[in-house]
């Protein structure tokens, strides 16, 4: 009986570190992490909870110790790394896939292409009507992710060249909300991860040189002709790495990367 009780106590103290594993953060990574967790669970019997909320939310939760793995669509900021050092935490960064960030408009909009400069002018409020960029006489309604989003940060840095978004921009709490809003608003424009594209919105062709306009797709992201491509990350504490390696290695394996491809993002091996 004593041996049985001891055995049960060992299970109770060891199992939760993996069975209760939680991933939290980026809404861009969310659909991928959910599929990876589902496949991993079926294969191993291990339970993994996946929650969105934004890259900043996930990284903050990692620092607070309320999630085991943070998923992010941007790299950690300087101040976040500083907080890790202050807390004595060594953080591991793993790139798990790549994503093309698509600029989407309402399907009824006749515009099919935009330059990076035009996107900057639209999202900073300099351009306010679609007729200014070759479209109909229609007010532009820009939608953005909220400030805790890695997608918000990435778009600001790489497309707006660190210019501030217009003060009246409509901030959405999740990528799905941008898709829904753009699909229901004739003059709308927003940006979403490649896996979120569907027939309710239209992705515009984008050019950074003003000459070559490229449609966001798995193919153009892989051959690097599409100009807005970024890595997607997992972050976790190095001291607890052995608890997370089974899941991380699964995501990085051929089977896990096949899921990346199926979900609509760009696998590492390609």
Q: Could you tell me if 106 and 218 lie in one domain? A: yes
Q: Could you tell me if 122 and 178 lie in one domain? A: yes
Nearest to 32 by CA among 18, 59, 52, 46: 52
Nearest to 25 by CA among 196, 166, 266, 236: 236
Residues of the chain with pLDDT under 50: 1-20
Give the domain range for residue 75. Answer: 17-97+231-263
Report the distance separating Cα 22 and Cα 183, nearest Å: 32
Residue 9 lies in a domain: no
Q: How many residues does the chain have?
A: 270
Q: Could you tell me if 148 and 259 lie in one domain? A: no
Residue 5 lies in a domain: no
CB-side neighbour CA atoms (13 Å) of 36: 30
Q: Give the pLDDT confidence of 235-265 residue by residue, as tens digits.
A: 999 999 999 999 999 999 999 999 999 998 9
Q: Could you tell me if 124 and 215 lie in one domain? A: yes
Q: Could you tell me if 44 and 141 lie in one domain? A: no
Read off the tokens for 50.
Answer: 């996946």
Q: What is the pLDDT of residue 148?
A: 87
Q: At which residue do the structure tokens 């992201």 appear?
A: 221
Report the distance separating Cα 157 and Cα 209, nearest Å: 17
Q: What is the pLDDT of residue 270?
A: 54
Residue 125 lies in a domain: yes
CATH code where residue 67 lies: 3.40.190.10
Q: What is the pLDDT of residue 7?
A: 39
Mean pLDDT of the chain: 90
Largest CA distance in the chain: 81
Q: What is the pLDDT of residue 2?
A: 45
Q: Which helix (H) or strand (E) holds 222?
A: helix 218-222
> Do 232 and 32 contact (CB within 8 A), yes or no?
yes
Report the distance separating Cα 173 and Cα 155, nearest Å: 16
> Do 215 and 205 contact (CB within 8 A), yes or no?
yes
> Do 107 and 131 contact (CB within 8 A), yes or no?
no
Q: What is the pLDDT of residue 21?
A: 85
Q: What is the pLDDT of residue 224?
A: 87
Q: Could you tell me if 87 and 105 lie in one domain? A: no
Can you list the positions of beta strands (E) in the chain? 21-25, 48-51, 69-72, 91-105, 113-115, 141-145, 170-172, 188-193, 202-203, 205-207, 229-237
At 236 the three-state DSSP class reads strand
């Amino acid at each position: 009986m004593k041996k049985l009780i001891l055995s049960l106590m060992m299970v109770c103290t060891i199992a939760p570190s993996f069975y209760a594993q939680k991933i939290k953060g980026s809404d861009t990574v969310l659909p991928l992490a959910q599929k990876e967790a589902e496949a991993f669970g079926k294969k191993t019997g291990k339970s993994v909870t996946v929650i969105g909320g934004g890259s900043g939310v996930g990284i903050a939760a990692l620092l607070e110790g309320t999630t085991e793995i943070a998923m992010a669509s941007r790299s950690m900021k300087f101040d976040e790394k500083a907080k890790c050092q202050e807390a004595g935490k060594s953080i591991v960064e793993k790139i798990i896939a790549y994503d093309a960030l698509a600029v989407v408009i309402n399907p009824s909009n006749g515009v099919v292409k935009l330059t990076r400069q035009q996107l900057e002018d639209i999202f900073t409020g300099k351009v306010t009507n679609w007729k200014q960029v070759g479209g109909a006489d229609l007010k532009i309604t820009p939608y953005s992710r909220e400030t805790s989003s890695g997608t918000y940060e990435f778009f600001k840095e790489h497309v707006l060249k660190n210019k501030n978004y217009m003060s009246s921009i409509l901030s959405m709490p999740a990528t799905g909300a941008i898709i829904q809003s753009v699909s229901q608003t004739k003059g709308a424009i927003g940006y979403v991860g490649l896996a979120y594209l569907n027939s309710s919105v239209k992705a515009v062709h984008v050019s950074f040189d003003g000459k070559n306009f490229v449609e966001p797709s798995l193919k153009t992201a892989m051959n690097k002709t599409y100009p807005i491509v970024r890595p997607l990350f997992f972050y976790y504490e190095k001291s607890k790495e052995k608890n997370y390696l089974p899941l991380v290695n699964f995501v990085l394996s051929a089977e896990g990367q096949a899921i990346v491809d199926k979900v609509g993002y760009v696998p590492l091996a390609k």
